[in-house]
């Protein structure tokens, strides 16, 4: 392993948006690294091969594992257990196994059951788009974004440090967190917003008094910003809600209480309550921009139509 390169050979299982982005980012950051890939879907393998994003793309998962000192599972959360079981017999001695699943505690349990004795340093890059597949990936996806590591209790500090170095090298800011805490925080910042978007877009399209044509034509009134989230991958999000059931239900309970409070304020004509609430949410948006998590460009930086 050359200096500054935390791993010599990385194997990526699942070559969709996240797996293919890691491949592209690692290739750019670590020119000498050996990258192997595997995807259960032969069509995805063929497309990833055509894109040339990894050095080796064998049809046999065991061949992809050969000599890998880091294996990252980039499959939907519901497929993590199967993927971990598939790599188990083929792991090189001392290999570190990680994943990028959007829910951490249930995935950690599945990985531990399938991979006893293996060093586990799970991760969740807080970066993505609503698109899927190897063509959707890009090398700068993780630049300036947080990547949360949730190492197993028995993972040596040195292993966590190497995985942290890998993510820093491809541009991410790294934080270490307990898996259960991650699931509660992400329920609030990612999972609930997606659930609301899925609901909103479904509701607007089912309104009988408003036509679908009107919904699409006047979407810039707010609806359009929900549609980006609501276009996210159905498999991924089904799995996230099934896996992070506890975290999502806890935050959803709070949300429904707050929504009922706003409903009461509207019914009662309580403008002061509405104004106070909206002032606090505006301050949160400004803090996000201040922290560099988004730009202040109007309309989320979308270019106006020519
Ligand atoms: P994706 O684009 O759909 O890619 C997943 C790939 O894994 C697909 O090609 C899929 O094939 C393949 N696959 C499924 N089961 C497999 C298995 N057992 N072995 C090998 N390959 C398998 O999904 P993604 O957006 O990259 O998401 C991957 C992971 O990243 C998920 O756990 C998700 O929670 C997490 N994540 C996603 C985002 C995001 O914004 N998308 C952000 C952060 C983290 P098929 O399509 O044929 O099933």
Calculate how far, in angstroms, residue 298's C-alpha sits from the geometric centre of ligand 1: 32
CA of 43, closest atom in ligand 1: 47
CATH code of the domain containing 211: 1.10.3660.10
Last residue of a domain, one of 161, 177, 193: 177
Same domain, 104 and 118: yes
Q: Is the pLDDT of residue 92 over 90?
A: yes
State the Cα–Cα distance between residues 265 and 116, nearest whole angstrom. 54
Residue where the block lists tokens 């070559």? 15
pLDDT of 306 > 60? The answer is no
Residues 112 and 195 placed together within one structural domain of the fold: no
Shared domain check, 14 and 163: yes
Q: Is residue 2 part of a domain?
A: no
Q: What is the secondary structure of the chain as a DSSP string?
A: --TT-S-SEEEEE--SHHHHHHHHHHHHH-TT-EEEEE-S-HHHHHHHHHHT-SSB--SSHHHHHTT-SEEEE-S-GGGHHHHHHHHGGGPPTT-EEEE--S--HHHHHHHHHHSTT-EE--EEES---S--SGGG--TTTTTT-EEEE---TTS-HHHHHHHHHHHHHTT-EEEE--HHHHHHHHIIIIIHHHHHHHHHHHHHHH-SSS-HHHHHHTGGGTHHHHHHHHTS-HHHHHHHHHHTHHHHHHHHHHHHHHHHHHHHHHHHT-HHHHHHHHHHHHHHHHHHHHTTSS---GGGGPPPP-
Q: Is position 3 within any domain?
A: no
The verdict on 117 and 263 lying in the same domain is no
Does some domain include residue 306? no
Residue 98 Cα to ligand 1 middle (Å): 14
Q: Is residue 28 part of a domain?
A: yes
Q: How far is the CA of 75 from the centre of ligand 1 (A)?
A: 4
Range of the domain at 273: 181-293
Number of domains in the chain: 2
**pLDDT at 305 exceeding the cut of 50:** no
As a whole number, the mean pLDDT across the chain is 93
pLDDT exceeds cutoff 80 at 300: no
Q: Which of 15, 22, 54, 74 to mutate to test the pocket of ligand 1 (most atoms within 8 A of CB)?
A: 74
Query: Is the Cα torsion angle 184, 190, 196, 199 positive or negative in sign?
Result: negative
Do 243 and 138 belong together in one domain? no
Structure tokens at 263: 């409903």
Q: How confident is the model at residue 215 (pLDDT cuts 50, 70, 90)?
A: confident
Pocket-testing residue among 11, 13, 15, 16, ligand 1, by greatest number of atoms within 8 A of Cβ: 16
In tens, the pLDDT along 113-172 reads: 999 999 999 999 999 998 999 999 999 999 999 999 999 999 999 999 999 999 999 999
CA of 20 to the centre of ligand 1 (A): 10
- Report residues whose beta carbon is within 6 angstroms of any ligand 1 atom: 13-19, 39-41, 44, 74-77, 79, 82-83, 100-102, 124-125, 128, 132-133, 233, 236, 240
Last residue of a domain, one of 109, 143, 177: 177
**Ligand 1 pocket test target in 13, 14, 41, 73 with most atoms within 8 Å of CB:** 14
| Assigned domain for 304 exists | no
Query: How confident is residue 69, by pLDDT bands cut at 50, 70 and 90?
Result: very high
Does one domain contain both 162 and 192?
Answer: no
Q: Are residues 118 and 93 in the same domain?
A: yes
CATH of residue 157's domain is: 3.40.50.720
pLDDT band at 4 (very low <50, low <70, confident <90, very high): confident
Residue at which a domain ends, from 129, 162, 177: 177
Is the residue at 75 inside a domain? yes
Q: Is the pLDDT of residue 225 over 80?
A: yes
Q: Is the pLDDT of residue 85 over 90?
A: yes
> What is the CA(23)–ligand 1 centre distance, in A?
14
- Give nearest CA residue, ligand 1 atom 45: 41
Digit-coded pLDDT (tens) for 239-285: 999 999 999 999 999 999 999 999 999 999 999 999 999 999 999 98
In terms of domains, do 235 and 185 share one? yes
**Pair (111, 226) in one structural domain:** no
29 and 148 inside one domain:
yes
Pair 72, 205 in one domain: no
Atom of ligand 1 nearest to the CA of 102: 34
Q: Whose CA is nearest to atom 39 of ligand 1?
A: 128
Ligand 1 centroid, distance to 285 Cα (angstroms) = 30
Of 85-99, 134-148, 208-222, the least confident = 208-222
The residue-averaged pLDDT of 31-37 equals 96
Q: Is residue 300 part of a domain?
A: no
Higher pLDDT, residue 224 or 278: 278
Do 142 and 54 share a domain, yes or no? yes
Q: Is 271 inside a domain boundary?
A: yes
């Amino acid at each position: 392993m050359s200096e500054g390169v935390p791993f010599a050979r990385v194997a990526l299982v699942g070559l969709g948006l996240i797996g293919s982005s890691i491949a592209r980012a690692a290739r750019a950051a670590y020119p000498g690294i050996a990258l192997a890939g595997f995807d259960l879907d032969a069509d995805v393998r063929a497309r990833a091969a055509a894109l040339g994003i990894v050095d080796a793309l064998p049809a046999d998962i065991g061949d992809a594992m050969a000599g890998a000192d880091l294996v990252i599972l980039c499959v939907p959360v519901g497929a993590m257990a199967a993927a971990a079981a598939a790599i188990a017999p083929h792991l090189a001695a001392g290999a570190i196994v990680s994943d990028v699943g959007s829910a951490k505690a249930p995935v950690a349990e599945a990985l531990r059951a399938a991979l006893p004795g293996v060093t586990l340093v799970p991760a969740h890059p807080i970066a993505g788009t609503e698109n899927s597949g190897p063509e959707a990936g890009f090398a700068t996806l993780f630049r300036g974004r947080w990547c949360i590591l949730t190492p197993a209790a028995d993972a040596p500090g040195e292993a966590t440090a190497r995985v942290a170095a890998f993510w820093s090298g491809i541009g991410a800011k790294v934080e270490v967190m307990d898996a259960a805490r991650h699931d509660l925080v992400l329920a609030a910042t990612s999972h609930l917003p997606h659930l609301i978007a899925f609901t909103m877009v479904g509701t607007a399209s089912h309104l009988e008094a408003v036509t679908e044509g009107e919904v699409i034509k006047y979407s810039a009134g707010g609806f359009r910003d929900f549609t980006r989230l609501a276009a996210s991958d159905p498999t991924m999000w089904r799995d996230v809600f099934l896996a992070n059931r506890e975290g999502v239900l806890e935050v959803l309970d709070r949300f429904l209480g707050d929504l009922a409070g706003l409903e009461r304020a509207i019914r009662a004509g309580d403008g002061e309550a509405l104004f106070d609430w909206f002032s606090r949410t505006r301050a949160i948006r400004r803090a996000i921009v201040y922290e560099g998590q988004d730009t202040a460009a109007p309309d989320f930086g979308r270019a106006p139509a020519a």
